[in-house]
Structure 1
Amino acid sequence: MNKLLKYLLATILAVSFINCTDNFEDINTDPNGISNQSLTQMNNHIGGSFTPMFLNVFNVTPAWNYQLQQGLLGDVYSGYMTPPTPFAGNVNNMTYALVDGWNGFPWSDAYGSVMPFVLDIKNAVELGNDPSGDKFVYLANIIKVSAMHRVSDIYGPIRYTKFDDFTTTGEYDSQETAYNAFFNDLGAAIDGLKSFESDSQFVPFDMSSLGGDIAMWRKYANSLRLRLAMRVVNVNPTLAKTQGEKSLSSDAGLLETQDMYINTGFAHPITVISGSWGDVRMGAEMESILEGFGDGREEKYFNPASDPALNGVFKGIRMGIEIEAKGQYGNHSSIGSVIDGETMQWMTAAEVHFLMAEAALRGWSGAGNVKAHYEAGIRTSFSQHSVSGVDAYLLDNTSTPKDFVDAINPINNIAYPSDVKIAYNNTGTNEEQLEQIITQKWIAMFPDGQEAWSEFRRTGYPRIYPVMINNSGGTIDTNIQIRRINFVSNEINTNSTNVNTAISYLNGPDNGGTRLWWDIPGSNF
């Protein structure tokens, strides 16, 4: 409760700051209140603005907001989870009838609770004219990139580089421009924070597992740069290699041993969506891969099906099938203990090892050995979830994902289209080795479906089953699958000129079938 009160107080301070910057001196002259000087000395005039950002990169409360920001987008399109609920008569995101009323939440969360507070911090530091405040700007920019690359990976072009100026705030960047700005912001933060590594002023405001340690924040920013470098590898190999090798050679280091998560003070929203509402269950792909591999993480990620007819097995649901009522599949496997507690995962150490494994596969300087990082990624993930048996798992060169069998309707049965294995195959083709790396990375990043969906679109791995029902009216190819979300209706209604410019940055029309800038079809090599 004390922790929650602390965050609520910080949020109140942040909102107060937003509403009163024009007459800041006047409202802080009460001799019986907190003076402007005292606020400045405690950095609360800056630090309070971090709270809403921490709580909205992934929205944590109310649960329905998270469901619309992430749960009915990346979490389902990644193959991680599938709702048993036939929302809107089964004409919804899962059957490619994209629901505008749902799909604007990633945008509104970012532009309502992240971007304005980053600007507030920047303005407060400039107003204070104290160079020591620069660290807060760097930290805010790291969080900004954490949020906005996710938004860009949903829609494509975003409002980013011109957001800070009132006259240009409605203008969009192409995704290419936005990504270059992400790299610039991360690079500046990684370099700029070096002189603040012994500084402890961020400690009271840091809701993350990094505990206000500036050196650890440099590691996180550097790891995030490596993630984004890999994201653009197919569209711009030179840019990817340059940024990736900067990360691999940086004195900041990488998050190879520590996960990055946020201590929110609230229950994970999936505990409500899955446990209380029963609106999400295990995805068919998760069943195929985890069951086929005999993967011990399955028992942490999911609960056995509660349907007595299924005899306590783990059972998933294929996305985009005919569902008449929630009761049909509602007793399939719910989400397990991985979501217990009050934390929200932003990046795992396991992901970093898989990024390094792919970097090594691509021959990037400083990446190390492919197999060593691949196995370290698996070991780190098993350790993260306190799962035993990793040694035998790494030696398994026979298990493959199993075919999916629908427990109710055999029309939904489908063979898994790959015989990818666990034990690393150094002699495989680059594509075969990449499929192993990304498949294990996909398992390890659970439950962050947005990042998993982005990696599926970039690489084609792991193999995601196509929908059975496609209500897109021909805008989304069933086999190619959904590639993005169309621009939000509120932007179209209020910022139409700039939205039209943003559409011109796309590789096609403003619909779910158009690929993003970094989403290049064909080989990964």
Structure 2
Amino acid sequence: MKQINKSIYLIFLLAALTSSCNKFDDAINTDPNNPVKAAATQLIANAQLSLADIGTTFDKTASIYGEHYPQYLSNTSFTENSRYNTVNFNFYPIYAGPLMNLEKAIEIANNPNEGPIVNQIAVAKILKAYFLWHITDRWGAIPFQQALKGSGNFTPVYDSQQVVYDGLFKLLDEANAAFVPGNIKNDIIYGGDVVRWKKLGNTIHLLMALRLSKVDPGKGKAEFQKALANGVMDKNEDNLTYVHLADKVNENYWYTSFTRLKRNWFAVSKPIVDYMLPLNDPRLPVFADKNVAGNYVGLDYGLPGAVSVVINNFSLLGSALRQQNSPVYLVTYAQALFAKAEAAKIDWIPGSDGVAKTNYDLAIQQSILQWNNNNAAGLSAFMAQVPVAYNPATALRQIGEQRWVHLFLHGYEGWAEWRRTGFPLLSPAPNNNNVPIPRREGYPTQEITNNGANYSAAVGSFPYGGADNLNSRVWWDKP
């Protein structure tokens, strides 16, 4: 898949070279077997290659942080990552990579041989919304309306997160309304199936709407109901899943780290193991390997760097999740079900506890089937336990905790849901001078030089005050 990168660059280079030869007859300069322009669907496919990075890191020089904020993983080495030592993170690779590809795809889509043009544009808009949602939930106010203009604007204004959310809802509405029958080509996610793309767009819309539960419940409820009416995921086969391949160019990040680089740096954290183990959660054997003594033992979270960890005493990240071709789950049916369960509980949709319980139970079932390769062994016994069985008095906490488990390895999404709901109840890294769990990430330091006036304006407009650090809050994370 990543070989597409090289071919795309070569196509653009060839286009640049041949554009200077327009004094000759077009027929002389045109080879019908070697196109000089990238098709919109090729650009979309190239953007899709970056989807797996949402679960790890877009900045290839950076370490993994998203998995540490919601305390899914603990470091066996270089434990500074889980003690929040890095404040500023770089969003440039996301803008310059997948988002620029998608913006160009929307601009140039004109070839019906690649599938209905309106469908090509709709898919590009869904992916654009998804990447921008990821950015704004990490940083808050971001370049949005003036972004992606290339040389037309190197210093874009930052829009508030509220403006960004409104814009993304509009983008997803446009995509939903545009789809017509007819698949598209070069799609490495759904094989061109626009029915599933439409459900994905509406599911993203649904999950975004729920983010507004604290800051603007009226707007959130309306957007949630709209997305639900337009049609969301209704089976695990609809999941947005990035499928890696069994080759070096396209392999899973965790395979590269553990197997190719021999870095046993990531153990499953004590908080999640201690939550799952007493419940005999069927997903735990997938998430974690047993230690040398044959037990599941989570590693303490946020250990000081001076502590020496005996790796064999703890459960490393499960081997099933770090095969060369292990998939990455990004937006899932179970997520939609947990969202519907919460929506029923807070009266955003009809049915109250009855509908909430139905969706909660089904969400856990589908989560277990997703993670356990469609094996439901142990599900009934798991669901019958008091901490798991739906209880109207503790439902929001149960939904939050089970959603947290389900989102394992999708760290930034698990972190966002923890910030919004407060569940599960997590403690910051101990022995770390009382530094709290981050609420956002700091802007790229390059912005101070490259876009200083707009950077300063963005920091000065934080909705709840604060500086450009890990402790300020994004708009929907209302105190």
Q: What TM-score range do you get, normalising by the shorter chain?
A: 0.7 to 0.9
1:199 match: 182
1:338 to 295, 312, 321: 321
2:32 to 30, 35, 45: 35
Please, what TM-score do these two structures have when normalized by structure 1? 0.80
Kindly state the Cα deviation for residue 344 of structure 1 after the two structures are TM-superposed: 2.3
Kindly state the Cα deviation for residue 45 of structure 1 after the two structures are TM-superposed: 1.8
Structure 2 residue runs of 5 or longer lacking an equivalent are none
1:465 match: 427
2:378 match: 389
Distance 1:169 1:18 in 2: 25
1:498 to 426, 451, 454: 454
1:299 match: 285
Q: What is the 5 A alignment of 1:44-55?
A: 45-55=39-49
Kindly state the Cα deviation for residue 459 of structure 1 after the two structures are TM-superposed: 0.5
The 3 A distance-change label for structure 1 pair 49 and 375 is same
1:254 match: 233
2:390 to 411, 419, 424: 424
1:58 match: 52
Distance 1:172 1:271 in 2: 37
Kindly state the Cα deviation for residue 454 of structure 1 after the two structures are TM-superposed: 0.5
Match of 1:82, SS state, is strand
1:76 to 42, 47, 68: 68
Residue 60 of structure 1 contacts residue 264 of structure 1 at CA under 8 Å; is this kept in 2?
no
Distance 1:494 1:295 in 2: 49
Residue 269 of structure 2 contacts residue 300 of structure 2 at CA under 8 Å; is this kept in 1?
yes
Deviations 1:161-212 (A, max 9, x none): 221432376221111111111111111111111x2xx212x23x1111x221
The 3 A distance-change label for structure 1 pair 60 and 173 is closer
Aligned pair 1:377/2:359, yes or no?
Answer: no
Aligned pair 1:225/2:205, yes or no?
Answer: yes
Amino acid at match of 1:94: S
Deviations 1:330-356 (A, max 9, x none): 652111113432432211211111111
Kindly state the Cα deviation for residue 465 of structure 1 after the two structures are TM-superposed: 2.4
Distance 1:21 1:174 in 2: 38
Match of 2:214, SS state, is coil
Distance 1:64 1:273 in 2: 13
Distance 2:257 2:444 in 1: 24
Distance 2:402 2:18 in 1: 52
1:98 match: 86
Distance 1:362 1:504 in 2: 34
1:361 match: 345
Residue 155 of structure 2 contacts residue 454 of structure 2 at CA under 8 Å; is this kept in 1?
no
Residue 439 of structure 1 contacts residue 461 of structure 1 at CA under 8 Å; is this kept in 2?
yes
Kindly state the Cα deviation for residue 109 of structure 1 after the two structures are TM-superposed: 2.7
Amino acid at match of 1:470: N
Amino acid at match of 2:216: N
Kindly state the Cα deviation for residue 22 of structure 1 after the two structures are TM-superposed: 6.2
Amino acid at match of 1:254: M
The 3 A distance-change label for structure 1 pair 255 and 182 is farther
1:489 match: 445
Aligned pair 1:448/2:410, yes or no?
Answer: yes
Kindly state the Cα deviation for residue 301 of structure 1 after the two structures are TM-superposed: 0.9
Deviations 1:442-472 (A, max 9, x none): 111221111001000111111222211336x
Distance 2:446 2:13 in 1: 23
Deviations 1:200-231 (A, max 9, x none): 2x23x1111x2211011000010111110011
Match of 2:174, SS state, is helix
Distance 2:431 2:257 in 1: 24
Aligned pair 1:516/2:474, yes or no?
Answer: yes
Kindly state the Cα deviation for residue 317 of structure 1 after the two structures are TM-superposed: 2.0
2:123 match: 139
Amino acid at match of 2:296: F
TM-align CA RMSD: 2.9
Aligned pair 1:269/2:253, yes or no?
Answer: yes
The 3 A distance-change label for structure 1 pair 170 and 127 is farther
Residue 223 of structure 1 contacts residue 255 of structure 1 at CA under 8 Å; is this kept in 2?
no
Please, what TM-score do these two structures have when normalized by structure 2? 0.87
Kindly state the Cα deviation for residue 504 of structure 1 after the two structures are TM-superposed: 2.0
Aligned pair 1:315/2:263, yes or no?
Answer: no
1:407 match: none
The 3 A distance-change label for structure 1 pair 152 and 19 is farther
Deviations 1:469-509 (A, max 9, x none): 336xxxxx64x521111111122221111111211231321
2:332 match: 348
Distance 2:269 2:83 in 1: 15
Kindly state the Cα deviation for residue 281 of structure 1 after the two structures are TM-superposed: 1.0
Residue 348 of structure 1 contacts residue 445 of structure 1 at CA under 8 Å; is this kept in 2?
no
Distance 1:147 1:330 in 2: 38
The 3 A distance-change label for structure 1 pair 288 and 68 is farther
Residue 186 of structure 1 contacts residue 221 of structure 1 at CA under 8 Å; is this kept in 2?
yes
Kindly state the Cα deviation for residue 64 of structure 1 after the two structures are TM-superposed: 7.7
Match of 2:420, SS state, is helix
Residue 84 of structure 1 contacts residue 330 of structure 1 at CA under 8 Å; is this kept in 2?
no
The 3 A distance-change label for structure 1 pair 237 and 295 is same
Distance 1:326 1:232 in 2: 43
Distance 1:239 1:117 in 2: 31
Match of 1:423, SS state, is coil
Deviations 1:82-116 (A, max 9, x none): 11113xxx5x342232254xx32xx1331121121
Residue 75 of structure 2 contacts residue 302 of structure 2 at CA under 8 Å; is this kept in 1?
no
Residue 245 of structure 1 contacts residue 364 of structure 1 at CA under 8 Å; is this kept in 2?
yes
Distance 1:136 1:291 in 2: 45
The 3 A distance-change label for structure 1 pair 330 and 68 is farther
Amino acid at match of 1:225: H
Structure 1 residue runs of 5 or longer lacking an equivalent are 398-420, 472-476
Distance 1:326 1:138 in 2: 51
Match of 1:318, SS state, is coil
Amino acid at match of 1:446: F
The 3 A distance-change label for structure 1 pair 371 and 131 is closer
Match of 2:142, SS state, is coil
The 3 A distance-change label for structure 1 pair 274 and 357 is farther
